[in-house]
Amino acid sequence: MPLALAPGLLLLLLLASGARGALVVSVPSSRVQTQPGSDVLLGCHFSLGVPVELMELVVQWKLGNSLVAEFDNVASYRRPGASLSQEGLQVGNASLLLPRVGGTDAGLYTCVVIVPPSRESRQVELRVEVPPHVSVWGTEVRAGEQNLVTCNVSNFYPGSVSVTWLRDGLVVGGSKTAPSQLGPTGLYSTTSILPLVPSIPEASVSYACHVQHVALGAPIQEAFRLSVLFPTSSELLAWVLLGISLGLLLLLLARVVYRGCNISMSKIHRGQCGPEGSIIVLWCEVEGRLRATDQLAWARLRPGKEPGRPGELSEPLLKGESEQYQISTWRCPLRLGRERLMSCLIICSAGSVHGPFSCTFQPGTAGRRVQERHITLSSAQGVTPDTDLSSCL
């Protein structure tokens, strides 16, 4: 490194000879990083091999092209609070002290030393920067609900920062980052919020809050995984209760619908009128969602046999077939599309009639149940005088 060694060797030679040599200016570090509000010393040293007369020395500090401080017989400063030490200058120390630096102090400084006819300069970069701290909050999330995961980006300088969210390495949309806020310590902070509605498998996905800032060499990636919570036991209980209530409601509905569709048949009612109960009236009813082809049929069962067995229905009583019997059937509409079908069997000379009769509901279409009711008459039965036949006929 002959170039780097050359000034040092020259200095040694000059010191040894005691003669005035070339002007050499050096800076201890070409980059100074500090945080806002702190005092900073920008180091700069010079030598000429012999003590320098202040009378012939000029020192200038520039930020970019503008003068910050100057010593030319006297010291003058453009930047409030900046200072050069006169004692320091006498021994080749041209360092500049800047108290309480802020963002406007940052930049490239030039330390210029002039001892006519020589003029030398060195540069120092002042960076007023603080890298952010990054932390992630709210990674315990509830399955199936809207959750907010928060990324705290705090205590950085300057205020410009970029926050993105990654999901398995890919940028996720929908996040919101607040503008940076200047805190009491002169540093900025911000938060970014990622709204999420996680499902259970989301727990295995790798997320990260990705922060880029000028004070960071490489972006910070605060990685995390979600812990997805199931509903708590009380919530579960509420769901179960809701489920049960819904179930009951459905049952109730089903019952209403069933009742609406169900076809119910009354038993056979009986009345007597006429002299000495010479007329017996039997009637039966069926109600429900009836079809136009549905019928009620009467039959007299073969005496001496148990009624109701298949094939034992006999003597179907058709309207007008016999003078002894008379059948009237009619329909009344009810609510909810239901109907009542009523049939009335009038038996004359009832005194001589006995034995079982049946009333059968015969559905006009397949798939519905045949229903049958029986009544047994005996000649011993008394007269019920107040039976109103007109309601039947």
Ligand X SMILES: *[C@@H]1O[C@H](CO)[C@@H](O)[C@H](O)[C@H]1NC(C)=O
Q: Which residues pair with 206 in a beta bridge?
A: 225
Q: Which of 97, 313, 348, 383 binds ligand X (CB under 6 A)?
A: 97
What is the closest distance, in whole angstroms, from the C-beta atom of residue 152 to ligand X in the complex? 4
What is the closest distance, in whole angstroms, from the C-beta atom of residue 91 to ligand X in the complex? 7
Per CB under 6 A, does 131 bind ligand X?
no
- Rg from Cα positions in the chain: 55
CA distance 125 to 119: 20
Give residue for tokens 């094939």.
311
Task: With beta carbons less than 8 A apart as the criterion, state whether 372 and 358 touch.
Answer: yes
Q: Candidates 16-24, 91-99, 104-112, 282-290 — which segment interacts with ligand X by CB under 6 A?
A: 91-99
What is the closest distance, in whole angstroms, from the C-beta atom of residue 135 to ligand X in the complex? 5
Residue closer to ligand X by CB (options 178, 238) is 178
What is the closest distance, in whole angstroms, from the C-beta atom of residue 39 to ligand X in the complex? 10
Helix ranges (H only) for 59-199 are 86-90
Give residue 308's region: left, alpha or beta (phi > 0; psi -120 to 50).
left
CA distance 349 to 352: 6
Helix %, strand %, coil % for the chain, to 5?
20, 45, 40
CA distance 122 to 138: 50
Residue closer to ligand X by CB (options 40, 67) is 40
Per CB under 6 A, does 191 bind ligand X?
yes
Per CB under 6 A, does 93 bind ligand X?
yes
What is the closest distance, in whole angstroms, from the C-beta atom of residue 240 to ligand X in the complex? 37
Total residues contacting ligand X (rule CB under 6 A)? 10
Q: Which of 154, 266, 324, 362 binds ligand X (CB under 6 A)?
A: 154
Give residue for tokens 């005496």.
303
Q: Candidates 87-95, 140-148, 197-205, 252-260 — which segment interacts with ligand X by CB under 6 A?
A: 87-95
Q: Which residues bind ligand X (CB under 6 A)?
A: 41, 85, 88, 93, 95, 97, 135, 152, 154, 191
